[in-house]
Structure 1
């Protein structure tokens, strides 16, 4: 191989890895965007909801016999599917007992329209989940590795017999599932009665209430939906990435960066924001050491928000 062919192959390999990782980041960001965009709640616990979902999926796989029933290939994905109603119920209950106390009409009498209380509450939830998980699950790394995690598809050769791209099968399947989930969410929010009520509650809660929409219920469903979507993304990530009780800290900043980069209030924008972050992270590995990949993300993030403060898909005007 010539030096040029080596460089081209490295670039294409990083590009492919960025698209696959970006698909998972995009799904994480969409989960946060549903909560942040509809409820305007800054949820510091979102990364820990993802972590909890990873452990729920892991123990469904190991403890409920799914590994024996479905095998190591399909078992993790069946466990991810089974975790969705569990994490939806968890998010629903967290909103019902905790988050609802500092959102909606209750915030009128609170300082900063309840945002200060929301920050403290979600930070407290995050700390409880982190330390509770450390006590229950221990500090050791665990994962949901499948046979797909250690195999790859070869695309090529594309330049004579020299340039080929290797796509990890586990990451490829996870990216395809992410795209399918995004498509289903788009249909849910854009075409169903529930989706219309969620959008109405986000755009103008007072007008939505006058039209007979239960805004509190819409917020509760949005919070539960955002929780289970992010947990689902965590489960897909766990098939290739070992995790521990503090893994949420590694991704919550990436989630917020993706949401802001895509444009606050835009679920599609959040997905593309996460995709862009994945691409920047992987392409930066061509010129920067691994330790500086996240620094490259935030340099790019600052550049975009400086040139386009509303994000890639955001609106200049604020919602009423």
Structure 2
């Protein structure tokens, strides 16, 4: 094949892969961005919610297989498992919030030095360590994955240029990307078009004024924390079909989540998604010119360039949130 066509084919392949991988990264970032936007809490345990989503999805997938056999097929099984994982982690998070994080956030820390950020950082970091080490005790260190027929098969797209240039789309990643778009659209509608979303935004903008209007700020923060954890857990459940995981997998992705939220614009949930998408694209496109070991270096080089040129992020504004 012509070397130029090979280069074009490789570029198209990594671009497509970057889009589908970036979509899942974007969903992770939406979960973290939602918690920060609504609660002003920097959650270091968000990577562990991703990890919990992976393990819960794996468990549910096996249970579905035992109960229904192959009736749901390779498409519905992993998707349903990921969505149920989101529900389970949501329940876990809303139980956890008043016991731990609710004591150092919201109106309880109004006027406190740093608005409670110092104990929040300590508590979420401690929670991260407890969850990851607890998972290690329960599940062991052996890498796991959700194996389906989709994980190892792909659709061929092409030929695109001449008879030889084609690109391949992994089926598991393609299905995950479609689910990601649906979940992001649902979250956007919830936040912008529903009464619950207006309540959340009111509690985030001015907690004291929201209380005078009869809004239960503590309850709003608890729901936001649970929803943010659930969204990231769904991303974890979807990622489990194409990425091997173990109890410390959260550490691999939490930096990506924080970078995506900052890159998209702190306070912008939509921006968090596009920030994660940008990271996925940069990560994959960098493999054209750099070894795999330098992918993260490429991510942060682009991150720094964008932040230098646009400190508020891609979709950040001069107000508190978008």
Q: Same fold (TM over 0.5)?
A: yes
Counterpart of 2:110 in 1: which secondary structure?
Answer: helix
Q: Residue 38 of structure 1: CA displacement?
A: 0.9
Report the equivalent of 1:316: 318
Q: 1:66–1:79: 8 Å Cα contact kept in structure 2?
A: no
Map Cα deviations across residues 109-152 of structure 1 (whole Å, 9 max, x no partner): 64321100000000010000011111110000011121111111
Where in structure 2 are the equivalents of 1:1-320 lying within 5 Å? 1-62=1-62, 64-71=63-70, 73=74, 74-108=76-110, 110-318=112-320
Q: CA deviation at 1:70?
A: 4.7
Distance 1:165 1:67, change over 3 A: farther
Question: How far apart are residue 263 of structure 1 and its match?
Answer: 0.4
Whether the 8 Å contact between 1:57 and 1:235 is mirrored in structure 2 is yes
* 1:83 to partner: Cα distance: 2.1
Three-state SS of the structure 2 residue aligned to 1:76 is: helix
Aligned partners of 1:69 and 1:75 also within 8 Å: no
C-alpha distance in 2 between matches for 1:252 and 1:189? 24
Contact 2:53-2:236 within 8 A present in 1 as well: yes
CA contact (8 A) 1:29 1:259 kept: yes
C-alpha offsets along residues 7-31 of structure 1, whole Å, 9 cap, x if unaligned? 0000000000000000000000000
The alpha-carbon deviation at position 75 of structure 1 amounts to: 2.4
Counterpart-to-counterpart distance in 2, 1:76 and 1:2: 40
Contact 2:23–2:277 (8 Å) recurs in 1: yes
Q: CA deviation at 1:67?
A: 4.5
C-alpha distance in structure 1 between counterparts of 2:21 and 2:58, whole Å: 21
CA distance in 1, matches of 2:179, 2:262: 24
What CA distance in whole angstroms lies between the structure 1 residues aligned with 2:65 and 2:233? Answer: 18
Contact 1:133 1:245 (8 Å CA) reproduced? yes
Displacement, 1:65? Answer: 4.4
Rounded to whole Å, the distance in 2 between the matches of 1:289 and 1:190 is 42
The Cα offsets for residues 180-239 of structure 1, whole Å up to 9 and x where unpaired, read as: 000111111111110110111112212222211111111100000000000000000000
- Residue 215 of structure 2 aligns to a residue whose secondary structure is coil
Q: Which secondary structure state, in structure 1, belongs to the residue aligned with residue 263 of structure 2?
A: helix
- Unaligned segments of structure 2, at least 5 residues: none
How far apart in 1 are the matches of 2:150 and 2:298?
30
**Once structures 1 and 2 are overlaid, which stretch shifts more, 276-285 or 148-157?**
148-157
Contact 2:79 2:176 in 1 (8 A): no
8 Å CA contact retained: 1:67, 1:76: no
> 1:261–1:273: 8 Å Cα contact kept in structure 2?
yes
Measure how far apart 1:76 and its partner are: 2.2
TM-score (norm 2): 0.96
Partner-residue secondary structure (3-state), 1:219: helix
Count of matched residue pairs: 318
User: 1:271–1:205: structure 2 CA closer, same or farther, 3 Å change rule?
Assistant: same
Return the offset for 1:77: 2.0
How far apart are residue 158 of structure 1 and its match? 1.1
Q: What TM-score do the two structures reach when normalised by structure 1?
A: 0.96
Does the CA-based 8 Å contact 1:67-1:75 persist in structure 2? no
CA–CA distance in 2 between the matches of 1:229 and 1:128? Answer: 21
Take 1:317 and 1:86, find their aligned partners in 2: how far apart are those partners? Answer: 34
Partner of 1:157: helix, strand, or coil?
strand
